[in-house]
Chains A and B, each alone.
Chain A
C-alpha cells in the first residue's frame, strides 16, 4: 500500500515541527499555565488576599499601591514609546536618505553601538550622568544653567528607557525605510508632489507598519522591564515589575507575583490586539 504524497509530506512536516513545538509547549505554555493556576491560589501563610479564586486579582484592584504601580508602568511605557519613535524616525530617515551610501552602514552601526554595553551597566551609567553632582549638572553649571534634579525619579527612568529604545527603533525603522521601492517616490515626484507631500503621502504611510511593529515591541519590552526602574527610579514611582519582584523576593508571595505578571501580560496582549487592528486598518 502506497501513501499519497500529501501524507508523506505531512508526516515529514510534523517531524520537523516536533522539537520547536514541544519546546514551546513544555517550557513556555506549560509554565505559563502553571503560573496562571498558582495566581488563583492563596497567598503566603497568612492569606493576605481575600479567599476564593479571584482573591489575588481582587486584592490588586482594591489596593491603590498596586493599581498605581500599574498606571505608572503604563504612563512610563507610553511616554517612552512616543518619545523613542519621535527621536528614532528622523535619525533613521537621515541615515537612510541623507547619508551617502558608502557611510550608511557605518552611521547606523555608530547609532546603535552603545547597544553592546551591558544593559545593567548602561542603566547604571545613566544614574552617574543624572546624579545631583553628576556629569550633566556639572556641564549645565559650567555654562551657567541651573542644575536639574533628574536623578532617582521617573524622568530618569524615562530617559534611560528612551535611550535604549531609540537605538532599537532606529534599527527597525531604518530597515523599513530601505525596503521602500524607490519608484513610488519617483512617481509621486514626477506627478508634481514636493518633498513634504511625498513624505506625507508615500513614505510615512508605507513605513507605518514598520513603525507600529517597532512601537509594539518597545511597549512590550518596556512595560516588563525591572532593571531600569530599579536602578534609575530611586524607589519613587514604582513600576509593576518592581512590585512583582517585591512579592517574589520579600513577601514570598508567589501567587500574588503570578497574578501581577498575568495582569502585565494582559496589558501587552491588549497592545498587541490594538497594533494588529491598526495594521489591518492601515493596509
Chain B
C-alpha cells in the first residue's frame, strides 16, 4: 500500500518551524503543499519545470542558517536531472530534495514517467555524489524522513513512493511577484511588501 500524497506532505511539514523554507515543484506537489496549509515561506512553482532543485540550491547557499526543502514530483525532477549533479558537487548542509514519485505525469493525464519504467532516482542522486539518500516506502520511513528534515545538517535526497491518485486541487496564490515578495518579507530581507522602486537602500550597488 503506497503512501497517500496529501498525508505524506502534511507529515513532512507538520510543526515545520520558521527556519524551514519550502520550494514546492510545479504541479501536484504545489497543490499538496497548499493543502497542508499556506505559508509565506513556501515559494510555489506554477512553471519553471525542471528548475525546483536549482531554486532550492540558490536559496540554500544564500540562507545557510535556514533549512531548505525542495518537494517536487518525478516528472519535474526528471526534467532537471543535471541539477542533482550540480548539487552533488556543492553539498550544501541545509538542502533536502524530496521527490514524490508516483511514476506518472499526473497533471497531464497520468501518462507513465520514466521512473515507472525503471529509472531509479535514488541511483541517480547517489551517482551524483549525494551520500544521504532515503527511499521512503511506508509510514515509518516517512517519519524518519520528517525527523531528518527537522535536523537537517547535510545534503539529503529522498524518494517518497506515493500512490498515483488525484486528490482535489488546492490552488495556492499564482501571482509570482506576490509569492516572491511575501517570501522575502517573511524571512526578513524586505521590510515591507512593496515594489522594487519603492524599496529603500536597494539600488544596483550596495553601499561600500
Q: Do A and B bind each other?
A: no
Q: Which residues of A contact B (CB under 8 A)?
A: none
Q: Which residues of B contact A (CB under 8 A)?
A: none
